[in-house]
């Protein structure tokens, strides 16, 4: 089952219908948020691209790659609704090459 998330205007690089990568930003204090990017997240030490899993922590803010997502629609306040996409091992391997 796909999950859906609203993403703030400045945190989404995707147009409606485009597929990208969902990254969760988790500050030690404050509210977690999601960003959607065209490129997979990179680990903070080795800079290795990662579609899923922990990316690292800097200044008490963790980043976690949550997989692929598709932009569904944009509302009047310019937030974008994204839906997670089930990706296969082959699709993930193509991105990382």
The predicted pLDDT at position 88 comes to 56
Tens digit of each residue's pLDDT (9 = 90 or more) over 46-97: 999 999 999 999 999 999 999 999 999 999 999 999 999 986 554 555 555 5
State the CB neighbour count (10 A cutoff) for residue 73: 11
Q: How many helices (H) and strands (E) does the chain have?
A: 1, 8
The C-alpha atoms of residue 60 and residue 34 are separated, in whole angstroms, by 16
CA distance readout (Å), 49 to 40, 42, 64, 78, 92: 6, 4, 12, 28, 10
Q: Give the model's pLDDT for residue 87.
A: 67
Higher pLDDT, 9 or 87: 9
């Amino acid at each position: 089952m796909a999950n859906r998330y609203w993403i703030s205007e400045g945190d989404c690089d995707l147009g409606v219908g485009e597929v990208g990568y969902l990254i969760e930003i988790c500050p030690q204090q404050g509210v977690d948020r999601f960003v959607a990017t065209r490129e997979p997240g990179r680990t903070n030490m080795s800079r290795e691209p990662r579609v899923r899993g922990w990316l690292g922590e800097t200044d008490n803010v963790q980043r976690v790659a949550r997989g692929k997502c598709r932009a569904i629609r944009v509302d009047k306040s310019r937030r974008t609704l994204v839906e997670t996409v089930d990706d296969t091992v082959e699709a993930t391997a193509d991105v990382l090459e």
